[in-house]
Structure 1
Amino acid sequence: MSIRYISSKLAQQIDEQLMNASGAFSLDQLMELAGLACAQAVAKVYNKGKYNRVLVCCGPGNQGGDGLVAARHLGMFGYKPTIYMPKPGSKDHYKRLQTQCENMSIPILPPSSSTDALSHALNSSDVILDAIFGFSFKGPVRPPFDAALKLIARSGLPIVSVDIPSGWDVETGKEGLELGEGVPVLEPDVLVSLTSPKEGVREFGGRHFLGGRFVPRSMAEKYELNLPEYAGHEQIVELPRVKL
């Protein structure tokens, strides 16, 4: 049976069950596993010999936390990550993840209304990890994220998106988006879905991985997710490519 594409409501329900008494995961644990999967997907597709410089773009929510974890693992893998946070997260777990990256001497661009720092970083990068908006995003895109998405989309660099491309609707994808004047739709080359793919990425035509090897078999069966098997110690599994 084919893997199940899930709605925002079901994705939230599964997350809540993973973190309640029956699942017993902490948010930090789930972010660690999700971020590791994202870093592994980058390494799988983009060899560090050619794509060594990774610009990790992090939003202020849980998506951004996954990005910070991924940046740390990419540094451990031998890549040279740089972190860009248009608006850093304020929660304690986010600050801890940021500190972990600082302790590894991973460069972090200063948040600024100016796009000069981001433009320079894009010119000095080989690939982008997009961890700005998650499945709870609702448009339009507001400053400072609008300027960031414009530069990222127009950079010409390959993009790896976490869970859902930033700005896409979790239910309908990139159709009918109202992102705001002049804000383009991101077209990533690689997508790393977490838990199970979301409804809005059914038509995604790039390389598509499932990551976050943390869903118990009993939960996958309960929600009829039809998850594929992960090979060996891999944290990701590639899904069949959609024929457009």
Structure 2
Amino acid sequence: MERQNLAPIPAAEPQSLYSAAAVRQLDQLVINQQKIPGLALMKRAGRAAFDCLRSRWPEVNAIQVFCGGGNNGGDGYVIAGLAAQRQIPVTVFVGVPVEKLKGEALEAYGFAEREGATLVSTIDAMPAAGKNTVLVDALLGTGFSGALRSPVDAAVAHINGAGVPVLAVDLPSGLNADSGFAEQAVSADVTVTFIGRKAGLFLGCGPALTGDVVFDDLGAAAEIYPQVQGMLLRHTAETLARLPARTADSYKNQFGHVMIVGGDHGFGGAAMMAAEAAARTGSGLISLATRPEHVVASLTRRPEVMAHPVVSGQELEPLLEVPSVIAVGPGLGRSPWSEQLLARAGRAQAALVLDADALNILAGGRVLAGIKRDDWVLTPHIGEAARLLQISNAEVTADPLAAARAIQEKFSGVVILKGAGTVIAHRDGTDVINTGNPGMASGGMGDLLTGVIASLIGQGMTLPAAARLGVWLHGEAGNCAAADGQRGLLATDLLPHIRALVD
């Protein structure tokens, strides 16, 4: 079914996120085309990080800098030298012997030494971090992959165990700049990143390790960036297409008819929550196809929802001719009843949103085998993604971007791989959205997201635009609901905030 995006053009462009290799290309373009020497860029990076540190922690009275051997370490030595110039006591862990330092990193080491920074070569020689001490992680840069080796592993453990604020230079050491994967890594309060935003800061473990991400282009000219291909786009509130305002003569049939299919024995609440989320997002009409025993509870909780008892796929069939979008999966279960409903819904003419056990059944290969649809949205978490690809959870976690793209290639449509950095893969590219909070790790949250996305599609948004806006609405509603605390946050706590945010 062809759909038009009725929302206005976003006011801002999404942020391009780059691979480590692409950032190195950007560096070279700045050096070669703008004639800015590498040492000058290193000094700019060090000063940007130092200024950020002073702004974030104005009461700092001691700084400890942990330096590796590459340009990242060089940035750290510049920070140490600047601190020493300002009479701030600074101790530097020299992670690579000075005789092995080269080029700009060696020159930066000399600057720190001349300015009087205290240089130590073992972690045991680092003083205990006192009050108003800030630690600076400049151990590893964008070229890191694999496992940490000595002495970096000990330095990372020391930083994480110090109990004081941490600023990471470019990215936390131990974090993969491309995938966001980390086995052992620095946990920072602030990360100052340069030239190009690294994809790994916003994927996988990245959002849990970076703290606040501060970007500085170090004076790179705007015309540099179109010359290098980014990995994906990061959307924020300012870059998302939104639903248009309703006119005074609006009527319900203009705003879509969403049908929720699910609610097997014992799982009726999931389908009801998805239906209510669609209603609170603004759908004109909501239907629910569920087990007969859930109908009374649905009518009692939300009488605006048209609840239909269905005991087989055959009974569902005539109901599928009416809705403009069908969401299958909340509370669906994995029974023969569940498979029948998915099989019938999966061949309907309306757009589809599949979640939860609809994805698990799809992964099993007996229902909708080999089907690709451009007009469906798949919303897996890590475990469901692994089953769809027949790989391990660890493989999905190691590279969520690759996993989302692989699912999209296998099934077509739009794929939303949920996480702290939610990846949205579609025919025209890949996006990431970072929002929400750990309090949302509770039952029913995915059911709400399914209802929200289905509602936005029914109201006329394209599938990619609905996916992006739906993920943002869901996460921001979670943040609003967590204002009084994250523990004990319930899915239904988000509903009033979804309603407020969608306008």
The corresponding residue for 1:3 is: 15
Give the one of 79, 93, 96 matched to 1:84: 93
Distance 1:5 1:166, change over 3 A: same
Q: CA deviation at 1:26?
A: 1.4
Q: CA deviation at 1:224?
A: 7.9
Q: Using CA pairs below 8 Å that are at least 6 residues apart, which structure has the higher relative contact order?
A: 1
Q: CA deviation at 1:60?
A: 0.5
The corresponding residue for 2:256 is: none
Distance 1:189 1:242, change over 3 A: farther
The corresponding residue for 1:106 is: 117
**1:131 aligned onto 2:138:** yes
The corresponding residue for 1:196 is: 196
Distance 1:121 1:97, change over 3 A: farther
Compare 97-106 and 63-72 and name the one that shifted more.
97-106
Q: CA deviation at 1:39?
A: 0.4
Q: CA deviation at 1:4?
A: 1.4
Q: Aligned with 1:108: secondary structure?
A: strand
**1:166 aligned onto 2:173:** yes
How do 1:30-179 residues align onto structure 2 when only pairs under 5 Å count? 30-47=41-58, 49=59, 51-88=60-97, 89-109=100-120, 111-112=121-122, 115-118=123-126, 120-122=127-129, 126-173=133-180, 175=181, 177-178=182-183
The corresponding residue for 1:236 is: none
Amino acid at match of 2:85: M
**1:13 aligned onto 2:35:** no
Deviations 1:47-67 (A, max 9, x none): 1x3x21010111000100011
Q: Aligned with 2:91: secondary structure?
A: strand
Deviations 1:159-192 (A, max 9, x none): 100111000001121x3x34xxxxx432101010
- Cα separation, 1, equivalents of 2:131 and 2:107: 27
Aligned partners of 1:131 and 1:162 also within 8 Å: yes
Amino acid at match of 2:144: F
- Cα separation, 1, equivalents of 2:435 and 2:191: 12
Q: Aligned with 1:204: secondary structure?
A: helix
Q: Aligned with 1:97: secondary structure?
A: helix
- Cα separation, 2, equivalents of 1:140 and 1:131: 17
- Cα separation, 1, equivalents of 2:128 and 2:146: 26
Q: Aligned with 1:160: secondary structure?
A: strand
Aligned partners of 1:204 and 1:242 also within 8 Å: no
- Cα separation, 2, equivalents of 1:64 and 1:213: 17
Q: CA deviation at 1:41?
A: 0.8
Compare 195-204 and 133-142 and name the one that shifted more.
195-204
Distance 1:11 1:154, change over 3 A: same
Q: CA deviation at 1:94?
A: 2.4
Aligned partners of 1:33 and 1:212 also within 8 Å: no
User: When the two structures are aligned, how many residues end up with a matched partner?
Assistant: 217
Q: Where does structure 2 lack aligned partners over 5 or more consecutive residues?
A: 1-12, 234-433, 438-503
- Cα separation, 2, equivalents of 1:62 and 1:121: 27
Amino acid at match of 2:199: E
Q: CA deviation at 1:220?
A: 3.0
Q: Aligned with 2:69: secondary structure?
A: coil
Amino acid at match of 2:219: F
The corresponding residue for 2:187 is: 187
- Normalising by structure 1, we get a TM-score of 0.80
Compare 33-42 and 123-132 and name the one that shifted more.
123-132
Q: CA deviation at 1:213?
A: 2.3
Deviations 1:3-38 (A, max 9, x none): 211111211111122223x23221101101111101
Q: CA deviation at 1:221?
A: 4.4
Q: CA deviation at 1:151?
A: 1.2
Aligned partners of 2:62 and 2:134 also within 8 Å: yes
Q: CA deviation at 1:46?
A: 0.7
- Cα separation, 1, equivalents of 2:151 and 2:131: 21
- Normalising by structure 2, we get a TM-score of 0.40
Q: Where does structure 1 lack aligned partners over 5 or more consecutive residues?
A: 179-183, 227-240
Q: Aligned with 2:16: secondary structure?
A: coil
Larger Rg: 2
Aligned partners of 2:66 and 2:155 also within 8 Å: no
Q: Aligned with 2:17: secondary structure?
A: coil
Q: Aligned with 2:160: secondary structure?
A: helix
Q: Aligned with 1:41: secondary structure?
A: helix
Which is richer in helix?
A: 2
